[in-house]
């Protein structure tokens, strides 16, 4: 297109060849269902990038992909719920919330949930505990938005062990959806496999 | 002061009696050393509220207490490193980085670390992997700031298992410093203990 390669500024060194993404997989997470709603329907999705950001007042933050229906719902209703999943949560349950879109199916069909005062769904099935949060700020981080939520309600449901992201991958054999902050592309995975084979060979 | 109580607006329901903080402890985390520097010195601290926020380009976020010297350092030098600690990290090591201030001691005395091109320290002792990030945004969340960092470098150091926050608490018997996003006050702990005793009694 007439642009000289030499005149193109070098790209900011972000995620370049010096970034071994395997090391990013050593960060630890839990596995959660994050729910919200818009005028027409409820929606929920699996999230792992969720943490507490302040102790007093208790505030949490979650990174949600802009393509996801849940993103639109949180943006509209300014609140969301979090269900902390237990270790024995079936892969089929995670599949429904993590690998399907609420635009195509009703994710709340045949699962246990409750509604809070403002009619936001809170998934109770397979949940150790649940939180409700009111969005008090948000930050655009490119493909995702970090929603910051003041915790307005929090309760324990069972004494089961929570599922960790590592447990989900290594013991349950689960996958990561393309829209997750921690997704690793097929080419990355291929490169990693080749490196491992080289090491072992 | 002449202000009628009746005219005071009810406080936003944040962290009130309907928030059982035990449920917030069911969120999962890793245990990390986050380092940065100012004009005079290096500093580092233990952090657990750290996650990946986008996959492409790889970007991470961490919640740091405004009182901590590391906060000031990251704000000044606009970059930080993350060392993902292994499961066998001694409590004494975590004590140095998590419960002491770099204003009082030199945390880097007698520990293994390296410097990157811009002279930022990266702790290699007890680390499974390390990341370097350049701050691309930040969000004020009250007592803490969420720093968002584009990952500029990431490497694996060992194949050891990473330490989780739960492992640190339950197996290693570690405590949480007052400045952590996940800190639970003494009165909260007392209330929890009383509830547990009531349940068992």
User: What CATH number is given to the structural domain containing B93?
Assistant: 2.30.110.10
Note whether A181 contacts B55, CB cutoff 8 Å: yes
Name the 3-class secondary structure at B37.
strand
- In chain B, which residues have their Cβ closer than 8 Å to the Cβ of A200? none
Q: What value, to the nearest 5°, has the Cα angle with vertex B114 and ends B113 and B117?
A: 155
User: What was the ipTM of the complex prediction?
Assistant: 0.84
- Give the pTM: 0.85
Instruction: Classify residue A64: in a domain, yes or no.
Output: yes
Closest Cα in chain A to B22: A156
Note whether B151 contacts A60, CB cutoff 8 Å: no
How confident is the model over B112-166, as pLDDT tens digits?
A: 999 998 889 999 999 999 999 999 999 999 999 999 999 999 999 999 999 999 8
Note whether B141 contacts A27, CB cutoff 8 Å: no
Closest Cα in chain A to B148: A141
Element (H, E) at A122: strand A121-123
Q: Residue A191: CB partners within 8 Å, gap ≥ 6?
A: none
What is the tally of structural domains in chain A?
Answer: 1
How confident is the model over B31-62, as pLDDT tens digits?
A: 999 999 998 889 999 999 999 999 999 999 99
- In chain B, which residues have their Cβ closer than 8 Å to the Cβ of A143? 54-56
Instruction: Classify residue B151: in a domain, yes or no.
Output: yes
- In chain B, which residues have their Cβ closer than 8 Å to the Cβ of A156? 20, 22-23, 26
Buried b (16+ CB within 10 A) or exposed e, B26-59: bbbbbbbbbbbbbeeebbbbbbbbbbbbbbebbb
Pure H helices in chain A: 69-77, 91-99, 165-170, 186-200
Instruction: Classify residue A53: in a domain, yes or no.
Output: yes
- Quickly state the pLDDT bin for B101 (edges 50, 70, 90): confident
- State the smallest CA–CA distance between residue B107 and chain A in angstroms: 23
- Flag whether pLDDT at A63 surpasses 50: yes
Instruction: Classify residue A23: in a domain, yes or no.
Output: no
Nearest to B34 by CA among B57, B51, B56, B54: B51
- Quickly state the pLDDT bin for A171 (edges 50, 70, 90): confident
For the ranges A136-140, A164-168, B19-23, B185-189, the lowest mean pLDDT is seen at B185-189
Per-residue pLDDT, averaged over A96-103, amounts to: 86
pLDDT at A17: 57
The size of the A-B interface in CB pairs under 8 A is: 227
Instruction: Classify residue B11: in a domain, yes or no.
Output: no
Instruction: Classify residue A147: in a domain, yes or no.
Output: yes
Note whether A152 contacts B13, CB cutoff 8 Å: yes
Nearest to A146 among B53, B143, B165 (CB): B53
Cα distances from A110 to residues A3, A106, A123, A138, in angstroms, run 56, 9, 11, 32
Instruction: Classify residue A8: in a domain, yes or no.
Output: no
Q: Give the residue, A150 or B198, on which the prediction is more confident.
A: A150
Instruction: Classify residue B12: in a domain, yes or no.
Output: no
Note whether B14 contacts A150, CB cutoff 8 Å: yes
Per-residue pLDDT, averaged over A34-46, amounts to: 93
For A107, the domain range is 28-195
The whole-angstrom separation of Cα A112 and Cα A120 is 14
Q: Mean pLDDT score of chain B, rounded to an integer?
A: 86
Note whether A151 contacts B184, CB cutoff 8 Å: no
Per-residue pLDDT, averaged over A80-107, amounts to: 92
């Amino acid at each position: 297109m007439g642009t000289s390669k030499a005149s193109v500024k070098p790209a900011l060194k972000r995620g370049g060849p010096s970034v071994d993404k395997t090391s990013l997989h050593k960060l630890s997470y839990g596995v959660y269902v994050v729910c919200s709603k818009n005028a027409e329907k409820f929606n929920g999705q699996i999230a792992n990038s969720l943490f507490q950001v302040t102790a007093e007042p208790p505030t949490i933050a979650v990174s949600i992909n802009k393509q996801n229906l849940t993103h639109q719902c949180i943006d509209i209703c300014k609140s969301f719920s979090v269900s902390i999943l237990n270790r024995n949560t079936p892969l089929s349950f995670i599949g429904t919330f993590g690998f399907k879109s609420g635009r195509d199916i009703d994710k709340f069909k045949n699962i246990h949930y409750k509604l809070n005062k403002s009619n936001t769904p809170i998934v109770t099935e397979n949940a150790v505990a649940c939180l409700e949060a009111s969005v008090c700020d948000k930050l655009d981080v490119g493909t995702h938005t970090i929603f910051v939520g003041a915790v307005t309600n929090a309760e324990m449901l069972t004494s089961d062990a929570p599922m960790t992201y590592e447990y989900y991958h290594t013991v349950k054999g689960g996958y990561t959806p393309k829209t997750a902050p921690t997704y690793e592309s097929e080419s990355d995975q291929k490169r990693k496999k080749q490196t491992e084979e080289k090491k072992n060979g």
